[in-house]
A and B are shown apart, each in its own frame.
Chain A
């Protein structure tokens, strides 16, 4: 019985990694004072989601969705397509965020959230 549970846990290791990464990312986005670190957290969180999509669509023994001879079957190509789009979104978000951070640094000469809040008072 215990073994079964362990197997169940290990068998879903991709989900555990996903959850761990999302939590790390979320933590960084909400709790870090440095704006760059927030963006790093944001990227970790988004990457975790990509991993989730890709790993959920992956099936052992099946080949990539490219037409080749002797293939017994293909994995679902759709999640990968979706994630390509999501990566674009993520990159644009990061770009906008970094642009704003540069402007913030020019205006405030700091990237520390507390100091910026103080300057805003």
Chain B
């Protein structure tokens, strides 16, 4: 069993997405049960993966028993297991949450939703387990295609245009990545990432490799919506169904960041992207601008989901900044923020989903008195937003701590100031919501409580924001070890 873990974690969601339409034919509500069972299984596998990786080191699985570097190899190291656990955890929470939310929002398309949900998870999990660069591209496209379709399920017709725009930009990005991979393959003759990295060492001077690096980094920057390549994101997040917004915001960009880490640190290696080409430098400056620009745009928004979307643009900046710094503290900060932002943004989008589900309120202007009207939902929203602001001891504080520490250690005081002052901007847009919800004039208050199947995932995510904050020491050795092994 243990040897098959890496492939099982991809097969289970893939198979369940194939079975889903059949199950949907039999009885529609079984879809929910199947998705719950599949995501729970994936979650358990992910935990087992982490355990295995910490005990025995990197796991490797050869598809079809072809020896790497000829065959496709699934490799799970610390980073892969960490990402798989995050994806599985968020995927499970959202699968639980989906029941009521989807019944109301997408009743007509319920079966499609669950099929695509599982397919999206397949793609995301595939990205983090594969050790083959072309396979990486295929999984990226699987997840992207399901994301386009999921966004297009949104209630309003704007969802269609948002999805189409995302599709066009996403495909351009994917083509760039594919060309970059082609270049790398042309000069190294291998597709296995570990093998490729060895071959690349002699080729750092090659123009082809430089071009490949640029294409891949630009492609990934579009996929993760790094400012100024973010134009697809706000509409897509705003008009997608609530659960889809949560899923995409929490996971898609994180997996893009994972690809960036994997390709820059493991394939190109630090020697190349810091010393040969100023990729790290450019990424961190762009990220710093993204942090500020995203936050400022968020302050100007009226629609709550759009506000969260712009906030995501700024938070992606944090992650990329740490990647660009290329030191242990900075990368630790990025890795922590991948987890923390998934928890916080997931919780925020789910809370907003519950608010829309119960009251239909989408504009921040209508939030008056919501703290009394939906006490639990707003409490979770408040916890997650305080964490976003970076209030200690919630989890957001610690990723900022490490990112700022990394900036200072890299001698970039300005980045530390950007990171810290952006938490003021975050406070600016989150307190605007909280002030309205808790201290706004209340006309009539009739308490409504979201269904338990929606409250529990939010509760779990909000609790995770607290636990991974206060007890950050429990996961810190793992994350730091991952960062150190990536840098060496």
B461 at the interface (CB under 8 A from A): no
Q: Contact check: which of B141, B163, B172 meets A100 at CB < 8 Å?
A: B163
A98 to B: closest C-beta gap in Å: 11
Query: Which chain A positions have C-beta within 8 A of B171?
Result: 29, 42, 46, 93, 97
B167 touching A100, Cβ below 8 Å: yes
Cα distance A120–B175 in the bound complex, in angstroms: 29
Q: Contact check: which of B149, B161, B182, B186 meets A49 at CB < 8 Å?
A: B182
Given contacts A52-B179, A120-B161, contact A38 B168 (CB under 8 A): yes
- Of residues 33 through 56 on chain A, the ones whose CB sits less than 8 Å from some CB of chain B are 35, 38, 42, 45-46, 49, 52-53, 56
Q: Contact check: which of A53, A85, A101 meets B164 at CB < 8 Å?
A: A101
A22 touching B179, Cβ below 8 Å: yes
B172 touching A92, Cβ below 8 Å: no
- Of residues 47 through 99 on chain A, the ones whose CB sits less than 8 Å from some CB of chain B are 49, 52-53, 56, 78-79, 82, 85-86, 89, 92-93, 96-97, 99
Cα distance A85–B149 in the bound complex, in angstroms: 20
Interface size class of B (residues with CB under 8 A): 20 to 34
Proximity bits, B160-200, A CB within 8 Å = 1, else 0: 11011001100110110011001001100001000000000
Query: Which chain B positions have C-beta within 8 A of A46?
Result: 171, 175
A77 to B: closest C-beta gap in Å: 11
Q: What is the interface of chain B mostly: helix, strand, loop, or mixed? A: helix
B450 at the interface (CB under 8 A from A): no
A16 at the interface (CB under 8 A from B): no
Cα distance A45–B149 in the bound complex, in angstroms: 22
Query: Which chain A positions have C-beta within 8 A of B138?
Result: 85, 89
- Chain B's closest residue to A41 (CB) is B168
Query: Which chain B positions have C-beta within 8 A of A26?
Result: 172
B134 touching A96, Cβ below 8 Å: no
A52 to B: closest C-beta gap in Å: 6
By CB atoms of chain A within 10 A, which of B145, B172, B175, B191 has the most? Answer: B175
A100 to B: closest C-beta gap in Å: 5
Query: Which chain A positions have C-beta within 8 A of B348?
Result: none
Cα distance A92–B164 in the bound complex, in angstroms: 14
B157 at the interface (CB under 8 A from A): yes
A108 at the interface (CB under 8 A from B): yes
B152 at the interface (CB under 8 A from A): yes
B301 at the interface (CB under 8 A from A): no
B443 to A: closest C-beta gap in Å: 31
B167 touching A49, Cβ below 8 Å: no
B152 touching A100, Cβ below 8 Å: yes
A56 touching B182, Cβ below 8 Å: yes
A24 at the interface (CB under 8 A from B): no
- Chain A's closest residue to B172 (CB) is A29
Cα distance A25–B172 in the bound complex, in angstroms: 10
B58 at the interface (CB under 8 A from A): no
B386 to A: closest C-beta gap in Å: 34
- Chain A's closest residue to B161 (CB) is A116
A17 at the interface (CB under 8 A from B): no
Query: Which chain B positions have C-beta within 8 A of A93?
Result: 141, 145, 167, 171
Cα distance A46–B172 in the bound complex, in angstroms: 9
A107 at the interface (CB under 8 A from B): yes
Cα distance A85–B74 in the bound complex, in angstroms: 18
B453 at the interface (CB under 8 A from A): no
Nearest first, the 6 A-B pairs at minimum CB distance are A107-B157, A89-B141, A104-B160, A100-B164, A56-B186, A103-B160
Besides the known contacts A30-B172, A97-B167, 19 further A-B residue pairs in the complex with CB atoms under 8 A apart = A29-B172, A35-B164, A42-B171, A46-B171, A49-B175, A56-B186, A85-B134, A85-B138, A86-B137, A97-B148, A97-B171, A99-B149, A99-B152, A100-B152, A100-B163, A104-B160, A107-B157, A107-B160, A120-B161
The residues of A with any CB-CB pair to B shorter than 8 Å are: 22, 25-26, 29-30, 35, 38, 42, 45-46, 49, 52-53, 56, 78-79, 82, 85-86, 89, 92-93, 96-97, 99-101, 103-104, 107-108, 116-117, 120
15 CB < 8 A contacts A-B? A30-B168, A30-B172, A35-B164, A42-B171, A45-B175, A46-B171, A46-B175, A49-B178, A49-B182, A79-B185, A82-B191, A93-B145, A93-B167, A96-B148, A103-B152
The residues of B with any CB-CB pair to A shorter than 8 Å are: 134, 137-138, 141, 145, 148-149, 152, 157-158, 160-161, 163-164, 167-168, 171-172, 174-175, 178-179, 182, 185-186, 191
